[in-house]
Structure 1
Amino acid sequence: MIAWPGLYPPVKRLLDIAASGTALVITAPVMGVVALTVRSRLGSPVLFQQLRPGRDGELFELRKFRTMRAGAGTDAERMTDLGRFLRSTSLDELPSLWNVLRGDMSLVGPRPLLPAYMDRYTASQARRHHVRPGLTGLAQVRGRNALSWEEKFASDVEYVETMSLATDVKVLFATILAVVSRRGISANDSETMPEFLGTADSVAATSPERRS
C-alpha cells in the first residue's frame, strides 16, 4: 500500500524548492570554482547535459558538471582524476539543484537513469517512475554503485511505497555520511555502473520469441 496518499507530496515539493534555492545560493562560489577548473582541465562544455526520464517517464534535461574527456573509449579511459574527485565528493551533482528547483527532480528519490532503460524494466521496477527522481535515494545510501541493478531497483520501489518526511530526512543524513566516507563510487568491475540490460523476467518478456 502506498504510504503517501495525503499531504506529503505537496509538502515535499515546497521543501525541495526552499532547500534547492537556498543551496544554489550558498554553493554558487563553489560551483564557480568547479566550473573554472573543469573549463581549464577539460575544456568546453563545462556542463554535462543529457535527457533523462522523470516522473511518469517524462523526459527532462539533466545537468551535471562534466567529469570525462570527450571522444571515444570506455568510461575508465575517458575518466579524469578531476572527474573522480568531483564524483567521489558529489560536487559534479551541484548543477542538478537547478533541476530540483524547476521540478524535474526532488532532493530524495530514485536516481534518473537512461531513457533506453525504460523498456527494460519489469512492471515492478517501472514503479520507480511514480515519483520524481532524486539527487539521492535509498539505493545511494545503501551502497550506490556497489549494488547490483536489481538491488538498486528494489530500493527504489521500496522508497515509492514508503515515501515520507522521516524517510527523506534519514536518507539526507545518510547521504552526508556516504559522501564523507566516499562509499560505493564505482561498481566492482567498472569505473561507473555497467549498462542495465534488463533482468531475466524483463528480457524474457520482450524477446522476439516471447512476443511471437
Structure 2
Amino acid sequence: MKRFIDLCLALVAIFILLIPIVFLAILVKLTSKGPVVYWSDRVGKHSKIFKMPKFRTMRVDTPAVATHLLPDPQQFLTSIGPFLRRSSLDELPQLWSILKGDMSFVGPRPALFNQDDLIGLRVVHGVDQIPPGLTGWAQVNGRDELPIPEKVKLDEYYLKNQSISMDIKIIALTFIKVVRRDDVAH
C-alpha cells in the first residue's frame, strides 16, 4: 500500500512541479559549470547502494563527503547553492528515486556510502530494512542538527511505529520546517 501511495504522490508531484523543476534545472545550468543533477552514492534498503539525484549545489571539484566534513563548505557552493539548500528545492530530483522504488516519501534519510558510523548503527537497529525517504521522523525532529546516535533512535522509532497517519504527520511537519527553514545547517 505504501509503495502505491508513493507512486501516486510522486506522479502528482512531478506533474504539479514540472515547470519549477525545469526552471531550476535551467538556473543551475546557467549559473555554474557541470551537470544540472548531482548523483550521489547512497545507502538504501538492505544497505544496497543506489544513485540518488539532487540539483547540484556545489562545484564539480567538491570532494564526495558529507558537507559538514568539508573544512569550509561555503567555498564549494555554487551561486544558487545556498538558496537551493535552504529551500530544500535541491531535493526535487529525488522524486525520480521514489518512482524507481529506491526511496519512499517517508523513511530514514539515505546515508552517504561512506557514512560508516550511521550505516552501522542503522543495521544494528534494523533501520536498514526499510526504504530511505525524502523526509523522515529524524528530519522533523532536528534535521541537520542531530548527532548520529539520536538520528538512529528516531529512525528506529519510525521503523517500529510507521503508519499512513504517521507518514502524513511527517510530511506536514516537513512542509512547516521547510517553510520556516528550521534546523538547516547549510
Q: TM-score, normalised by structure 2?
A: 0.89
Measured after TM superposition, the shift of residue 125 of structure 1 is 5.0
Q: Which position in structure 2 is the counterpart of 1:205?
A: none
* Mapping for residues 90-169 of structure 1, pairs under 5 Å: 90-118=88-116, 121-122=120-121, 125-169=124-168
Q: Is the 8 A contact 1:106 1:132 kept in 2?
A: yes
Q: Is the 8 A contact 2:34 2:60 kept in 1?
A: no
Q: Find out whether 1:21 has 2:20 as its counterpart.
A: no
Which of 66, 69, 74 is matched with 1:76 structurally? 74
Same amino acid, percent of matched pairs: 37
Q: Which position in structure 1 is the counterpart of 2:39?
A: 49
Measured after TM superposition, the shift of residue 81 of structure 1 is 4.5
Aligned length: 177
SS at match of 1:154: helix
Q: Which amino acid in the other structure matches residue 112 of structure 2?
A: L
Task: Structure 1: give runs of 5+ residues left out of the alignment.
Answer: 1-10, 192-212
Q: Which amino acid in the other structure matches residue 53 of structure 1?
A: V
* Mapping for residues 180-199 of structure 1, pairs under 5 Å: 180-186=179-185, 191=186
Q: Are the structure 2 counterparts of residues 40 and 126 from structure 1 closer, same or farther at C-alpha, using a change threshold of 3 Å?
A: farther
Deviation by residue 1:91-114 (Cα, 9 ceiling, x = unmatched): 101110010011000000000011
Q: Is the 8 A contact 2:122 2:128 kept in 1?
A: no
Query: Based on CA coordinates, which of the two structures has the bigger radius of gyration?
Result: 1
Q: TM-score, normalised by structure 1?
A: 0.78
SS at match of 1:116: coil
- Dislocated runs of 4+, deviation >3 Å: 122-126
Q: Which amino acid in the other structure matches residue 148 of structure 2?
A: W
RMSD: 1.7
Q: Which position in structure 1 is the counterpart of 2:65?
A: none
Task: Structure 2: give runs of 5+ residues left out of the alignment.
Answer: 63-69
SS at match of 2:34: coil
Q: Are the structure 2 counterparts of residues 174 and 44 from structure 1 closer, same or farther at C-alpha, using a change threshold of 3 Å?
A: same
Measured after TM superposition, the shift of residue 80 of structure 1 is 3.4
Measured after TM superposition, the shift of residue 88 of structure 1 is 1.2
